[in-house]
Structure 1
Amino acid sequence: MKFINIICYKDNRSIVEQSDFFVKQDYPENFGFYSKSSHTGRTVMLSEFITVMDNAPGFNDKEILKKIFVEDNLLKKESISGRKISFYYLKHLYGLDSENKNFQGLLKYWKEKSPDNKIMALLCALSRDEALRLSSGYILSVKAGDSADKSGLKEIVDNYYQNIYSEKVRESMVRNLMSSWTQAGYLEGRSNKIRIIPEISVYSFAYACYLAYLSGFRGKRIFHSPWVLVLCLSNLEIKEFIKESNRKGLMSVKKAGSVVEITFPEDLIGGTQ
């Protein structure tokens, strides 16, 4: 399925770009990508995930991490079953494993208490959740200030999952997806969801470029990949973020004529070639 994507900038201008955006395809699971979906039963659970990121001592020991959820009750859940379910879904959505390349990038660029962290979390969830990826084309096609209609999202869910899930489950997926995009700062409102443009930092930009690199994009194609398009940036903003990324050492962008070479810190790209 192809989308005509209307990308609305912060100054209320809009341009129309055509791309495949995220399509149903396999992504490199050896780097931590995933092609199933948690949205049959949960949203992206951003507040819970940010609590984990800001308070967990590390992500290299699965048993210690599970203890933090279940015994220490980091998320303040009343029941043991609720703690275990939260751990299951958050691990499914985000990986929570420092051995996964996509999660390594998140840990590298994450800044504690940053208001931009929900965008970082969304990018990580996009790398792990197929339904969230497939829904992005519709959400981003809605012009800033316009309503995001559930029927538009339902058409996508039905198109991909009609032969997999029941009508009841698909309706639940639509509700959960709308909630996820609201939590991430792309929609606002309760019953009437209005499209808004999120604020983006250079760290989210660098992480989006890194995910594009992991999924096979190279050179300047990285800046036109679905991972970066999700950020709704103008060409000017992209140019400024490229400069800032270079200054901060988040990634290296070198140009030689029409050739653009993009590399990332060695601790991130080691073993990805």
Structure 2
Amino acid sequence: MTQQGRYHSLQVTEVKVVKMISEEIQAKFGFKYGRNGAHASRTMMLTEITELFSHRPADAKAEDYQQDIEQFNLLNKPTLKARQLTWRHLVDLYGMNTDIPLFRIFRLLWDADEDARPVLACQMGLARDPLLRLSKEKILQLSVGDLLTRQEMEGLFAERFPERFSPATLKSVAQNVNGTWTNAGYLQGRSKKHRSEPSIRAVNVVFALVMGKLQGASGNRLFATEWMQVLECRTERLLELARMASHSGLITFKHSSEVIEVGFPDLLTRNEELMLHE
């Protein structure tokens, strides 16, 4: 059990994967489904995006980031091939294009709170990498202090994808996935990983609310999605953080008795709102 308490909802008793919006529309928003993901060969690359974003404003274009990596070698990669591969993995994980709603919102929130960034990057990775998303239940089932071995994570992928991965690839996937959860604060340790408690900020709640909204949730159900489950906060804490986000102007938030209303006037465009009602 975390110090904040395991996630539960007073208004909605069941955590649900909300998919009222078609996967085709969700893909336009930036979600990715399927079997493959960047964690087959990389972690969520937190160091790389931190460096990239520190040199560009939130409205930077995809070609700006690509130029920084491939032409100016901002990330200090040894060869052009390595730089090109780095760019492809970042696009796979994050989109890296403000035409993609999830990335545009993620990039705006990145500048809102430095302390929220590790979990924020993990949230984005979960939305776009099926391999990382598969590992979520394994991580959330652990209590603070529990040991998680690489072999246990390997077993998860071997069971889900029998005969798909070689032993070497299984090891790589497990290491990369565990590395991302470590960078996000859900695990700690180097050779031995133990479950730890991440720092959850108002910005992380905002992003979870946005992801729920873009999958079709609204009102109270926004606080009962898989994205909120990842934050592992009691509903009272989630509501408090949402209220803080409202006071800082990130969202609009109203909570009266059993009714919750959340708006995203500065995060979602009119066209995106219309897409949600198609």
TM-score grouping bracket, smaller chain normalisation: 0.7 to 0.9
CA–CA separation in structure 1 for the residues paired with 2:83 and 2:151: 33
Residues 132-143 of structure 1: pairs in structure 2 closer than 5 A: 132-143=132-143
| Residue in structure 1 matching 2:32, options 34, 41, 47 | 34
Residues 84-233 of structure 1: pairs in structure 2 closer than 5 A: 84-111=84-111, 114-233=114-233
CA–CA separation in structure 2 for the residues paired with 1:264 and 1:20: 22
Q: Is the 8 A contact 1:211 1:227 kept in 2?
A: yes
CA–CA separation in structure 2 for the residues paired with 1:76 and 1:192: 29
Please tell me the residue identity of whatever aligns with 1:99.
D
- Aligned residue number for residue 3 of structure 2: 10
- Secondary structure in 1 matching 2:96: coil
Q: Which moved more, 1:263-272 or 1:221-230?
A: 263-272
Per-residue displacement from partner, 1:134-176 (whole Å, max 9, x unpaired)?
Answer: 1011101110011123344233312332254334322321121
- Secondary structure in 2 matching 1:261: strand
Q: Is the 8 A contact 1:54 1:112 kept in 2?
A: no
- Secondary structure in 2 matching 1:75: coil
Q: Which moved more, 1:117-126 or 1:260-269?
A: 260-269
Percent sequence identity over matched residues?
Answer: 26
Pair 141,93 (structure 1): closer, same or farther in 2 beyond 3 Å: same
Q: Is the 8 A contact 2:7 2:233 kept in 1?
A: no
Q: Is the 8 A contact 2:18 2:216 kept in 1?
A: no
Q: Is the 8 A contact 1:34 1:129 kept in 2?
A: yes
Per-residue displacement from partner, 1:98-128 (whole Å, max 9, x unpaired)?
Answer: 0111111112212277132111111111111
Please tell me the residue identity of whatever aligns with 1:10.
Q
C-alpha deviation, 1:26, in angstroms: 4.7
| TM-score (normalised: structure 1) | 0.86
Q: Which moved more, 1:185-194 or 1:234-243?
A: 234-243
For structure 1, the 5+ residue unaligned runs are 1-7
Pair 211,145 (structure 1): closer, same or farther in 2 beyond 3 Å: same
CA–CA separation in structure 2 for the residues paired with 1:15 and 1:128: 23
Q: Is the 8 A contact 1:149 1:193 kept in 2?
A: yes
| TM-score (normalised: structure 2) | 0.85
- Aligned residue number for residue 71 of structure 1: 71
- Secondary structure in 2 matching 1:83: helix
C-alpha deviation, 1:19, in angstroms: 4.6
For structure 2, the 5+ residue unaligned runs are none
C-alpha deviation, 1:242, in angstroms: 2.0
CA–CA separation in structure 1 for the residues paired with 2:23 and 2:101: 16
C-alpha deviation, 1:91, in angstroms: 1.1
Q: Which moved more, 1:58-67 or 1:233-242?
A: 58-67
Pair 112,175 (structure 1): closer, same or farther in 2 beyond 3 Å: same
CA–CA separation in structure 1 for the residues paired with 2:89 and 2:209: 26
CA–CA separation in structure 2 for the residues paired with 1:22 and 1:140: 19
Pair 18,267 (structure 1): closer, same or farther in 2 beyond 3 Å: closer
CA–CA separation in structure 2 for the residues paired with 1:38 and 1:234: 31
C-alpha deviation, 1:61, in angstroms: 3.4
Q: Is the 8 A contact 1:54 1:113 kept in 2?
A: no
C-alpha deviation, 1:266, in angstroms: 4.6
Q: Is the 8 A contact 1:50 1:118 kept in 2?
A: no
Please tell me the residue identity of whatever aligns with 1:213.
K
Pair 224,73 (structure 1): closer, same or farther in 2 beyond 3 Å: same
- Secondary structure in 2 matching 1:39: helix
- Aligned residue number for residue 51 of structure 1: 51
CA–CA separation in structure 2 for the residues paired with 1:196 and 1:206: 22
Please tell me the residue identity of whatever aligns with 1:224.
A
CA–CA separation in structure 1 for the residues paired with 2:269 and 2:127: 17
C-alpha deviation, 1:77, in angstroms: 1.4
